[in-house]
Amino acid sequence: MNPEIGLNDQDRRGVVDILNQLLADEYVLYTKTRNFHWNVASPHFAALHKFFEAQYGELEAIIDEVAERARAIGGRAAGSLAEFIELTRLQEAGRGAMDSDAMLRGLADDHEKIIRGLRVALEISAEKFSDAGTSDFLTGLMEQHEKMAWMLRAHLPAAHP
């Protein structure tokens, strides 16, 4: 049964598509962050290990919120690794070892890519699909990603003027 929330089926499907692409991006970023938590090697290992753990914890909560938003408006949340890889705009981490600065920079770049996508998605959800609720939801996520990206950049030497 589709919810009667003031969105027609076509608009709801459009918003769910946006949310599923975001869900895929979030899941890939979560996986990369957890990978780096496991595999970081640095003189700052203890601090980075805990830092990455805090970041993937935030991403885990975001993933759940995005999936629940898709369900709340009557859609299906993507839920398989195959779907996530098909839908994501991000690249998985390589299999080789990376230094900690490359890990931090790569995660910051991915957050920034998600932020740019969210800026577009929140406009589309409001203007094209008339879904102010999802636009507001996406704005909140954008703010979370902006903070997470800032924290990652703050760990990099170039972040200090």
pLDDT tens readout for residues 105-140: 999 999 999 999 999 999 999 999 999 999 999 999
Asked if residue 48 lies in contact with residue 42, where contact means CB atoms within 8 angstroms, the answer is yes
Gap between the Cα atoms of 92 and 31, Å rounded = 8
What pLDDT does 108 receive? 97
- State the CB neighbour count (10 A cutoff) for residue 40: 20
CA distances from 55 to 7, 80, 86, 113, 152 (A): 34, 22, 24, 16, 9
What pLDDT does 2 receive? 77
What pLDDT does 134 receive? 96
Residue ranges for the chain with pLDDT beneath 70? 1, 158-161
What pLDDT does 158 receive? 66
Q: Cα 18 from chain centroid?
A: 12
Q: For domain 23-159, which architecture applies?
A: Up-down Bundle (1.20)
Gap between the Cα atoms of 53 and 39, Å rounded = 12
What pLDDT does 152 receive? 97
What is the length of the chain? Answer: 161
Can you give the pTM of this predicted structure? 0.93
